[in-house]
Structure 1
Amino acid sequence: MPVEMGRLTNLQTLTRFIVGKDGGGGRSIKQLKCLNNLRGELTISGLENVTIEEAREADLRGKQNIHSLQLWWGTQRSDNGKMDDDDDDDVLEGLKPHPNLKSFFISDFGGTKYPTWMAPSTGLSAYKNLIELRIQDCPRLEYVPPMLGELAFLIVLKLTGMEKVKCIGREFYYGSNNNSCSTCGTGATSSSSSETVVAFPSLNNLTLSGMFNLEDWLEVLPSFPSLEILILKSCPELKIMPSRFPSLKRLQFWSTNRMALRSFSSNLISVKVLQIYYCEELKWVPERLLQNNAHVLESMIFYQCDKLETIFPSSQGRQEGSSPLPTPLVFPSLKVLEIYKCPLLKSLPDLRGMTSLRQLFLYGFKELKSLPEGLHRLTMLEFLEIGQFSEKGLQLDYIKGEEDLQNLVSLRGLRLYGWPQHKNLRDQLKHLTNLLFLRTAADYLTNMACELASDSLFHGTTSLP
């Protein structure tokens, strides 16, 4: 940083300030003391080099036009590489920002407690204009910030890398003056105050990630009326969580306990995008999740769920206690379906109720011998990737349903794995006049793609081996 930068008292834009280890020259955070005309966004990094006195002298509270503030500590500050510096508690206490703040981000904070201006008695209630809050990689904090549900304008909330948090309780929603009284492990609760208070009234986007010991997330009603995006990632112990998200449109579920998915999915009615990744213990997708959202689902992705046996409900293999469902279940709005590396799936999906599909990827299956039922109905399909077609490592002579390929008149991209070596396939593909590229690892199909590229019916087709 420039020497004596603190003398630039009329400076309005300073997007990043890096605190140096020696604290000399222009690298001390004290240089910010008189820069009260700063506005917009400010990122301060190297906070492991700051003392409590220096933090207070920086006077962030006096900078009323700073609307976006990011505070970064270093990731490794001791010989063993662990963040165990209790000085961080005092430094964060001294970095109290002005209440006009709209976006606040904390990363790699090594302390064990929140400052008084984020304490359980008041939370961030002074920061009524807060729209976005992100707390990242603060492994020594044992609970989430309190009273966030009272922030009327909070839209984005991302809590990641808070490894010691075991429970998200009622303090996450309200302060002690609210009459709702329950703790983790007791199920849902409703506010009993004379005037109903809606928690998180404006929250649209919520992420909980890297919370490896989180077990319970208490439901307090009413709450989350506007939540549209929910991302749960690397929460392997989570078993109980809220079940009412009336506006939820996008659900991403990564490496998280299957019981959490089952505990809340039955009440979802508006999900358009469903993405499930690396859920090793998941054996089936909850039927009600699909049944209740079949009419609005637009995209579904299932990736590397090693024990997944069933995705789409059918008359066979019914889940215990389930109600009758049509076979197949109809997804009139579904445009994207991707299933990758789910080796225990008992069958390919029935596509007869998915006539709006534009993109279909079915990859990582073992020894497929047929194309999915209903493929011929996908006249709007633009991209198809499917495989592996083989039997004990050998090419098959025939794939059941291969004649359906000629009906995919809108197909622009095709990738096949382990397709049989016979000439009939070329005749099927000649009907696909919109095909732009054909990819395969098989030499035979690569040669075929080259032939198609030279054919007048396939002008512009590209072979990608």
Structure 2
Amino acid sequence: MVVSHNDEVVHLTVVLSRGKMLKNIEGIPPNLQTLYYIGDDGIMLEDILERSKYLSVLKVDCWDVTHLPNAVGNMKHLRHLDMSQTRIAALPDSITKLYNLMTLKVSRLKEIPKKFSNLINLRHLEFSTIFSGRPSYLIPGIGQLANLRTLPYFVVSQDKGCQLEELEHLRNLRGELKIFGLENVSSFESAAKAKLSEKSSIQSLTLSWDDTNEDCDDNNINSVMEGLQPHPDLKSLAINGFKGSRFPSWMVAKDHLMVLLRNLVHLRLEKLGKCEQVPSLGDLPCLESLDMVSLHNVKRIGAEFYGLLTHLDINARSSASCSSSTSSREVKPVTLFPKLRRFGLRNMKRLEEWSDAMVPSDSSSSIKVFPSLRYLEIEGLPKLAFLPDMENLTSLEVLRIERCGSFACIRNLNSLISLEFLYLDDCPALLGASLDMKNPQSLRALRISGCDKLNPSLSNNLEKFTSLERLKIVSNDPGSWPIMVLHHLANLRSLELGGFSDILDLDHFPWPHSITNLVSLEFLRLRGWPKITSLPDQIQHLSTLRTLEIRDFEGLEVLPEWMGSLRNLRELLIGVLF
């Protein structure tokens, strides 16, 4: 390819150059405006930039590029610079001369030039973050970039130019903003200077405190949270590491009539070590996703969580106001968490009680709770014994309960007529959970591990789950496994059976006499114990099997001759499971 100076070339893509393609180009087009450099070494990049003073768009996609040439500072017309697909860790000081730069995309950055605030026309600062948790560097003086619209995160520090008030003049911020280092904010006034409540275009906000200053003044940190009030149009809020003892007023009902965050769709509360109660959230009309993680000081979830008292108060006022004219008028039913689809409750080590939303006996109101809930995850609640009644969770599709050592009962589990995935792991006290489902055909995946007291109920009902595609049963008592009904599961594609006990007297792996109906099984994993010396012979008839895993069969010395009859077998894994 030959490109001469006379050609009106303004857009150029260089692919895997290594200098070879450029040898066939008679110089660099003098009016080049757009350069997309895709290579694996970046050798010619500096040479190109030195001769491309009129570039307005530069994108480099080359992981071997580790620094940006100083020549970039001479490209006065540059408006869009994308270095996100490189390993550049530091930007040259010359970049601060690009007064017309509007978009900067970077990834593995570890430091910012001192005069970065000179980029007064910058609108979009995007980081393809590869870290987890708090970023490692600050952006001093970012408050001078008044035109900035995209800022993925801001780290608060006590250093000059890094205080929270830097956000005050960034009135055009939109999209997602994560604020780290809030332990460095000392008062309500300092927090309020950020004017988050006036930033209507921010859709997602994360407020994060570091794990230091455990003995900070409670009143002070509570007042800081009050000053961080977001705009009512906020869609997503995450609070991480807050060390105050109470939630701010902007998260609870106002005058028994409304809540501020009425447009909130996603909420995550994590590592709030001092809060003893959960906030009232049931009356958030748009909330679809809720995660509460590591609220270690919460012992009880009661009526305050549902916001029920607020609704009943409103209904009582309404009923009183119209009682004289329409004494027979019906009170509308109360719907709590009307749009919530996903709810996760994890690592709440002190939680002992989670009560139902109960209507007082003197109220004529009726209630509906979680009418739209699709996914419920309960994990790491060692003291919780019971869940609220599940009778009305007719939309629930996924139920996951794990590592709840005191968990004893799931009321009306069989009423979950839409349930497709049921996972019960490491709940040794779980006994009261009827698997006699009203709609057993809805279940597609079932996993029961470390819940030995459920085995009788499972044995009596497993054959009804005719749509089951994945089944996992791990128990210390293989003698009570419901294996004799496996032949009813014609749609089963994945099966895992096993136990970890090393004191069993059985020298064979329990297996049904007939498995001719397992015509869809593709994956089989068996977990054995030391005394087993052979595999079940019936496995040879699983003609559709593609993967077979044999774990902890320590007494097995030779594979059976029939193993070669599994003609569709692609993977055979033999080992010890740790």
Corresponding letter in the other structure for 1:384: L
Q: Residues 387-422 of structure 1, C-alpha deviation per residue, up to 9 Å, x if partnerless?
A: 3499954553684x5432454222212222248545
| Cα 1:433/1:127, change in 2 over 3 Å | same
Partner of 2:464: 353
* Displacement after TM superposition at 1:47 (Å): 0.6
More displaced stretch, 439-448 vs 54-63: 439-448
Q: Residue 207 of structure 2: which of 51, 64, 71 is its match?
A: 71
Counterpart CA distance in 1 for 2:178 and 2:335 is 33
Q: Is the 8 A contact 1:207 1:232 kept in 2?
A: yes
Partner of 2:220: 87
1:212 aligns with 2:350: yes
Secondary structure of the residue that 1:226 maps to in structure 2? coil
Provide the alpha-carbon RMSD of the alignment.
Answer: 3.7
| Cα 1:164/1:306, change in 2 over 3 Å | closer
1:60 aligns with 2:60: no
* Displacement after TM superposition at 1:13 (Å): 0.7
Secondary structure of the residue that 1:86 maps to in structure 2? helix
* Displacement after TM superposition at 1:307 (Å): 3.1
Partner of 2:291: 158
Counterpart CA distance in 2 for 1:199 and 1:285 is 21
**Equivalences for 1:274-313 in 2 at 5 Å?**
274-282=399-407, 286=411, 288-290=412-414, 292-293=415-416, 296-308=418-430
| Cα 1:192/1:448, change in 2 over 3 Å | farther
Q: Is the 8 A contact 1:150 1:200 kept in 2?
A: yes
Corresponding letter in the other structure for 1:464: I
Counterpart CA distance in 1 for 2:184 and 2:494 is 53
Corresponding letter in the other structure for 2:446: L
Structure 1's unaligned 5+ residue stretches are: 183-189, 235-253, 314-324
Partner of 1:48: 183
Structure 2's unaligned 5+ residue stretches are: 1-137, 323-330, 360-365
Secondary structure of the residue that 2:269 maps to in structure 1? strand
* Displacement after TM superposition at 1:436 (Å): 1.6
Counterpart CA distance in 1 for 2:277 and 2:203 is 26
- Structure with higher RCO (Cα < 8 A, 6+ apart): 1
**Count, aligned residues:** 411
Q: Residue 269 of structure 2: which of 108, 126, 135 is its match?
A: 135
Corresponding letter in the other structure for 1:43: K
Q: Is the 8 A contact 1:367 1:392 kept in 2?
A: no
- Please say which structure displays the higher CA radius of gyration: 2
* Displacement after TM superposition at 1:444 (Å): 6.5
Partner of 1:201: 338
Partner of 2:174: 39
Counterpart CA distance in 2 for 1:232 and 1:344 is 19
| Cα 1:17/1:422, change in 2 over 3 Å | closer
**Equivalences for 1:172-211 in 2 at 5 Å?**
172-173=306-307, 179=313, 196=332, 198-209=335-346, 210=348
Counterpart CA distance in 1 for 2:566 and 2:247 is 69
Secondary structure of the residue that 2:514 maps to in structure 1? helix
Counterpart CA distance in 2 for 1:446 and 1:310 is 42
Counterpart CA distance in 2 for 1:132 and 1:170 is 19
Partner of 1:226: 372
| Cα 1:445/1:385, change in 2 over 3 Å | farther
Q: Residues 366-396 of structure 1, C-alpha deviation per residue, up to 9 Å, x if partnerless?
A: 2528762322222222222223499954553
**Equivalences for 1:390-409 in 2 at 5 Å?**
392-396=503-507, 399=510, 401-409=511-519
Q: Residue 362 of structure 1: which of 463, 469, 473 is its match?
A: 473
| Cα 1:459/1:138, change in 2 over 3 Å | closer
Partner of 1:257: 384
Q: Is the 8 A contact 1:86 1:110 kept in 2?
A: no
Counterpart CA distance in 2 for 1:151 and 1:398 is 53
* Displacement after TM superposition at 1:282 (Å): 4.6
Counterpart CA distance in 2 for 1:282 and 1:19 is 42
Counterpart CA distance in 1 for 2:192 and 2:153 is 19
Counterpart CA distance in 1 for 2:207 and 2:398 is 33
**Equivalences for 1:320-339 in 2 at 5 Å?**
331-339=440-448
